[in-house]
Amino acid sequence: MPSDPERYLSVGDLEDELPFSPSAFDVDNTETNADGNTDWDNLLQRLLDEESDRIEQMASTLFVQTETSATLYGDEDTVGDDLPLPDRPVVDVASIGVDGDPLEVGTDVRVRETHVELLDDAAIYSWPDGPIEVTWTYGYDAVPGDVRDGLVRLVRSRLERIQSDGLESEGLPTGQSASYRPPEEIVAAVADDVGGYSPPSYFGGTMVI
């Protein structure tokens, strides 16, 4: 399923933060295409989508709650009574099945931020060696300000590089020089800001959901 390019920030809100106009890029912002968007809107949507992906990789999680499914294996993925889940923070578990038989949340298992814990009174004594089918929801339910600001900075940096034709600086008619920060510096700064939102680790302590 394709991602929503405006999942963290709308094109309109992004435009409010940009010191550019479409004319600076020779991009049309008057006529709509077959998709109902102008060329300028499509450019901003593409950059938003790509930089949202980058931020998700930096933080190793999503900032919108998302349902996912996976087949895990008791002989490889469990730690005692715990079944760590690969995508976190865990919000809820919709279903969990062993050999086609469902386990009940609250009766058989307890849901934590990072894993599912087998309870003492569960229908099974331990996790089997075979496949365990799990469907769960993970991610944050709001976009932190640092993430939103980082997204604006990354897109703005991309546009600056387009406008400057990839140069780090250029001469102005006044004889002065306009400098553009190398994108590597901006990426590193944003990574520092959003890194604090990385999901909890199974081995770093958890809480009951």
Query: What confidence score (pLDDT) does residue 169 get?
Result: 52
Question: Where do runs of H (alpha helix) occur along 60-134?
Answer: 74-77
Return the half-sphere exposure (C-beta side, CA atoms, 13 A cut-off) of residue 21. 2
Q: What b-and-e string marks burial along 143-165, b requiring 16 or more CB atoms within 10 Å of the CB?
A: bbebbbebbbbbbbbbbbbeeee
First CA to last CA across the chain, in angstroms? 28
Query: What confidence score (pLDDT) does residue 86 get?
Result: 95
**163 in the Ramachandran plot: left (φ > 0), alpha (ψ -120 to 50) or beta?**
alpha
Instruction: Annotate 123-150 with three-state secondary structure.
Output: CCCCCCCCEEEEEEEECCCCCCHHHHHH
Query: What confidence score (pLDDT) does residue 180 get?
Result: 53
Alpha-carbon 170 to chain mean position: 35
Query: What confidence score (pLDDT) does residue 37 get?
Result: 83
Query: What confidence score (pLDDT) does residue 33 get?
Result: 85
pTM over 0.95: no
- The full set of domain ranges for the chain reads 11-61+143-197, 66-138
pLDDT tens series, the chain, 209 aa: 457 999 999 999 999 999 888 888 788 788 888 888 889 999 999 999 999 999 999 999 999 999 999 999 998 999 999 999 999 999 999 999 998 899 999 999 999 999 999 999 999 999 998 999 999 999 999 999 999 999 999 999 999 887 766 555 545 455 555 555 558 999 999 999 999 999 999 987 545 55
